[in-house]
Amino acid sequence: MNDYETVIGLEVHAELSTKTKIFCSCPTSFGANPNTHTCPICMAMPGTLPVLNEKVVEYAVKAGLATNCEISKNSKNDRKNYFYPDLPKSYQISQFDKPLCEHGYVEIDTEEGKKKIRLLRIHIEEDAGKLNHDEFGGGSLVDLNRAGVPLIEIVSEPDLRSSQEVEQYLRKLKSILEYIEVSDCKMQEGSLRADVNVSVRKKGETKFGTRTEMKNMNSFRSIVRAIEYEANRQIDVLEEGGTIEQETLRWDEVSGKTFSMRDKEDAQDYRYFPDPDLVAIKLSDEYIENIKKGLPELPETRKKRYLEEYHLSEKDANIISSSKYLADLFEKASAICNNPKAVNNWIISDISRILNETEQEPIDIPFDSNQLGKLVLLIDKGTISSSIAKKVLAELFENPRDPEEIIKEKGWIQISDEGAIKEVVIKVLEENPQSISDYKAGKDKALGFLVGQAMKQTKGQANPQMLNKMFIEEMNK
Ligand code: ADP
Ligand code: ZN
Ligand code: MG
């Protein structure tokens, strides 16, 4: 087992967040009723003509520049011919020999340091429709809302050597695409999905082994599991003297196995030819230069800035800068409360935990930086305790509004009035004489217990520092 090496190359599809489709003016938004986002062009009526959406070219060039690609000034669209019920034209408009972007790379962190994963190309193409199986008495229904939604396909060289590297690479790519705002990258909605090509070879071997391909995978977890399963399966076959067939496989999440779907097509099977209905794509140096100038700060640069400007730890800077949404939230909220350390802690601990528990992504955070900044200010001013702040955060996730309004409405203002604090302290001491003797006998835990009791009686609203101080004063009297 150990004398084998796994080789992986990915074809990543990202749906572009243009308002309209690639060759018609239908909307691209997700979740509409079936076949409501359609017109004669994306339904492939005879005689209709496609017109290329200029934004698609701009977004693809942006993605190419952000991943260190060369941009082709002369590019074109080609027809890729195949039949499938979700593809009403019986061909997909894609790009064959002249993709918009070529020869880029994405850098990932590995145990041995930074590693460049080379990109063969990035090209533009249209998405197919969607088949809904099994919902209606065993039949399948076709929904063409997705037909003609613009995609970029990012093809990597077979430079990846483990499932961990693949996960790193995908996370990095996702993060870059989010930063340059060309795709929302929502994997559950299929906005970002990968075809995963896997082969194995003996260590030291220079030729690649035969690969298999698993299509349309859209969760990190499945991708990692599928690669590990498939690599082991191939090794077993080879060890038993068999050969690997080049084929397309289906990953089954429930059984944790791959199954054969069909033999792999070659480029020649698709009979590519230039689409005669579309003009060539010619880009000027000035056009490319302008897009380059407009590129925002990318994750790597932001991370550096967080280390230097805000003195975040390497780990925290990595987590926050990896998501544009978290990074923007962090910076804007910090500007409001002037306490980046506290904002950092909220994002890394409580906010991340809630996102995990509710299986949401940073883009789904319902409150804004203003509200988070104000929450931190309220703690810093002593208006609320940190335990109340946690309750306010939960409210912000439920029904986001001004934190000040929330605490007024709920009556959650911290009790910092000396008289009121003293009253609780005396009451708790009367109720717990044993704790007083324990404390006097040197058991520090007793103090914590008493403060906890006082917190309980005030529903978490008493100022904990004041409680601590006053318990000690009273018991030392
Ligand atoms: P196709 O579009 O027919 O699947 P491409 O050559 O465009 O073929 O893309 C193939 C993908 O498979 C690329 O990402 C490439 O890195 C990867 N790949 C090619 N050969 C191997 C191999 N032997 N093992 C693993 N991955 C491979
Ligand atoms: Zn349309
Ligand atoms: Mg492929």
Whether residue 187 is found in the same domain as residue 312: no
End-to-end CA distance of the chain: 72
Which residue's CA lies nearest to atom 24 of ligand 1? 199
> Probe ligand 1: pick from 155, 165, 166, 264, max atoms within 8 Å of CB?
155
Whether residue 335 is found in the same domain as residue 435: no
Whether residue 406 is found in the same domain as residue 429: no
pLDDT tens digit sequence for 392-423:
999 999 999 999 999 888 888 777 778 888 99
Q: For residue 338, which phi and psi values (nearest 5 degrees)?
A: 60, 35
How far is residue 428's CA from residue 422's CA, in Å, rounded to a whole number? 10
Residue with tokens 């955070």: 365
What DSSP assignment string belongs to 397-413?
HHS---HHHHHHHHT--
- Kindly state whether residue 292 falls inside one of the protein's structural domains: no
Whether residue 140 is found in the same domain as residue 248: yes
Could you tell me which residue, 325 or 410, shows the higher pLDDT?
325
Which band of pLDDT confidence, cut at 50, 70 and 90, is reported for residue 1?
A: low
Residue 256 pLDDT greater than 80, yes or no: yes
Residue where a domain terminates, one of 253, 269, 287? 287
Whether residue 378 is found in the same domain as residue 318: yes
Enclosing domain of residue 306:
297-410
Distance from Cα 155 to the centre of ligand 1, integer Å: 8
pLDDT tens digit sequence for 54-112:
999 999 999 999 999 999 999 999 999 999 999 999 999 999 999 999 999 999 988 88
Residue 364 pLDDT greater than 80, yes or no: yes
Question: Within a 10 A sphere around the Cβ of 387, how many other Cβ atoms?
Answer: 15
Which band of pLDDT confidence, cut at 50, 70 and 90, is reported for residue 229?
A: very high
C-beta of residue 200 within 8 angstroms of C-beta of residue 163: no
Distance from Cα 233 to the centre of ligand 1, integer Å: 19
pTM, two decimal places: 0.83
How much is the CA Rg of the chain, to the nearest whole Å?
29
Whether residue 422 is found in the same domain as residue 401: no
Residue 265's pLDDT is: 64
DSSP 462: B
Residue 95's pLDDT is: 97
- Kindly state whether residue 368 falls inside one of the protein's structural domains: yes
Residue 453 belongs to domain with CATH number: 1.10.10.410
**Which stretches of 180-298 are DSSP H helices?**
220-239, 285-293
What does the block give as tokens for 6? 């796994």
Q: What's the domain count of the chain?
A: 3
Report the run of H or E that residue 294 belongs to, with start and end: none
- Kindly state whether residue 139 falls inside one of the protein's structural domains: yes
3-state secondary structure of 332: helix
Whether residue 206 is found in the same domain as residue 332: no
Closest ligand 1 atom number to CA of residue 208:
23
Residue 439 pLDDT greater than 80, yes or no: yes
Q: Is 11 in the pocket of ligand 1 (CB under 6 A)?
A: yes
Whether residue 241 is found in the same domain as residue 325: no
What share of the chain has pLDDT > 90, as a percent? Answer: 72
What DSSP assignment string belongs to 18-72?
-SB-SSS--B--TTPPTTSS--TTTTT-TT------HHHHHHHHHHHHHTTPEEP
Which residue's CA lies nearest to atom 5 of ligand 1? 155
Whether residue 90 is found in the same domain as residue 238: yes
Mean pLDDT throughout 325-330? Answer: 95
Distance from Cα 169 to the centre of ligand 3, integer Å: 18
Cα angle for residues 105, 108, 109 (degrees, 5° grid): 155
Q: Which ligand is nearest to the CA of 201?
A: 1
Residue where a domain terminates, one of 410, 434, 455? 410
Residue where a domain terminates, one of 382, 410, 438? 410
C-beta of residue 90 within 8 angstroms of C-beta of residue 99: no
